[in-house]
Amino acid sequence: MTRATPPVFSPADALKHLSVQDPRLGIIIKSVGKYSIELRPQPFRSLVEAIIYQQLAGRAADTIFGRFLKIYRGRFPSPARILATSDQELRAAGLSRQKIAYIRDLAGHVADRSLRLEKLALLDDAEIAEQLVQVKGIGRWTADMFLIFCLGRPDVLPVGDLGLRRAIMINYGLSELPLAAKILEIASAWKPYSSVATWYMWKSLEKFKGIG
């Protein structure tokens, strides 16, 4: 099933709903303040960035991403330019062989139009994830980050995200990192604004010296 238009939601309505349905989250919302997620509206860049940041602490990933951009003199490259860049240059930026393969596979899918990034916004969340995971190195976590940070989808719950798991463990008084079933149980109150709740969970970690 496809959408005629991208989803639109009111942050004010989302915060009111979340505060009523989950008072513990309501306290976090009041502490953090305004919902001010920074969207990355360029689909190809968003996916490449997500691949580079996989399984890395924020500061290390920032450094590698900065070196990656320097290859292209600070401008984000097209798929064709990435495909024309040597492995040696990409390795010198700090990218692993595996991530180079992932980025090249993504660039190839976009270049040959087997992945139509400009059409994704018209699909529902499940359809988008189904298309993205056909690319090497893009799993559900990367698809979820794309849905949240590129398309601004309001009801995405990235159950495999370490930051979300840590935040739930701390804020809900759990003795260990929760598994998917526990996350789904707690987050059942967050629908249809799971992305918003997740953002507040991430922000809450700043009180505990951040995610990484």
Task: Give me the tens of pLDDT residue by residue for the chain, a chain 212 residues long.
Answer: 444 455 678 999 999 999 999 999 999 999 999 999 999 889 999 999 989 988 777 788 899 999 999 999 989 999 999 999 999 999 999 999 999 999 999 999 999 999 999 999 999 999 999 999 999 999 999 999 999 999 999 999 999 999 999 999 999 999 999 999 999 999 999 999 999 999 999 999 987 654 44
Record the pTM: 0.86
- Residue 77 region, left (φ>0) first, then alpha (ψ -120 to 50), else beta? beta
CA-wise closest residue to 32 among 209, 201, 175: 201
Quote the CATH superfamily of domain 43-149: Hypothetical protein; domain 2 (1.10.340.30)
Q: Is 161 annotated in the active site?
A: yes
- Would you state the CATH architecture of domain 11-37+156-208? Orthogonal Bundle (1.10)
Contact status, residue 9 vs residue 193, Cβ threshold 8 Å = yes
Nearest Cα to Cα of residue 193 among 155, 153, 165, 147: 155
Which sequence spans correspond to the domains of the chain?
11-37+156-208, 43-149
Rg (CA), the chain: 18
Residue of 22, 125, 144, 161 marked catalytic: 161
